[in-house]
Amino acid sequence: MIALVDYGMGNLRSVANAFEAIGEKPVITHSRAEIESAAGIVLPGVGAFGDGMKNLRRLELIETLNREVLEKKKPYLGICLGMQFLTDESEEHGLHKGFGWIKGRIREIKPADKRYKVPHMGWNELQILKEGGLFQGLPEAPVFYFVHSYHLEPAEPGVITAVCRHGAEVTAAVEKENIVGVQFHPEKSQRVGLQLLKNFVRMVKEHAEKTADTCSHPA
């Protein structure tokens, strides 16, 4: 089971519809028990960073996410705001603390060419820096749909798996062990978006099988 974390921000139904289009039945939930029983965790979201973190704290979900993702190593997919939460802090409307799973900061996109407007909104081509993983089976330069004004600037550049250009280089995707994040919206990106979600589901199933095997054959 895949849990879509509901913390009151973003259109979770569209993300659920995309998973259902590939044959999955995700559960939209803010229940800690359901998140704990899930094999994979998806945290979508749009809106302000500070408001999102406030809602997650109010629902007492941050400790649960830390335990399930960092300790139990469950696959995690952050979409848009759900990717931005991964870092240490955000500069959006003040300074706000994030999960701290990936070292770095969320900063405003500042195009050198003023013809590029912020928010970065619409379709953009990716430059994939790390093959496989979420991008397995996709074209060489897939096009995804973006809506955002801020992006992740990691202190550990090796976590970046894809970038795009919008008058400046923008971090489009990151990966660190079982944690993946995308700044774009796969649920709005048609065929390539569905393929990316299939790849995440594959990661979830592989982890679940590995965990089951470990439990069946303890050291």
- Catalytic (active site) residue 217: no
> Whole-model pTM?
0.94
> Of 68, 92, 175, 187, which is the active-site residue?
187
- Residue 29 structural domain: 2-216
Q: CATH code at 94?
A: 3.40.50.880
pLDDT at res. 114: 82
How confident is the model over 41-68, as pLDDT tens digits?
999 988 899 999 999 999 999 999 999 9
| Vertex 150: Cα angle to 144 and 156 (nearest 5) | 90
pLDDT at residue 216, as a whole number: 56
| The one catalytic residue among 30, 68, 80, 96 | 80
Say whether 185 is catalytic.
yes
Q: Could you check whether the bond before residue 139 is cis, i.e. omega within 30 degrees of 0? A: no
Q: Residue 3 CB: number of other CB atoms within 10 A? A: 23
pLDDT tens column, 126-182: 999 998 899 999 999 999 999 999 999 999 879 999 999 999 999 999 999 999 999
User: What pLDDT, on the 0 to 100 scale, is given for residue 218?
Assistant: 55
Whether residue 78 contacts residue 86, with contact meaning beta carbons closer than 8 Å, is answered with yes
CB 162 within 8 A of CB 186: no
- As a whole number, mean pLDDT of residues 68-83 equals 97
For the chain, what is the domain count? Answer: 1
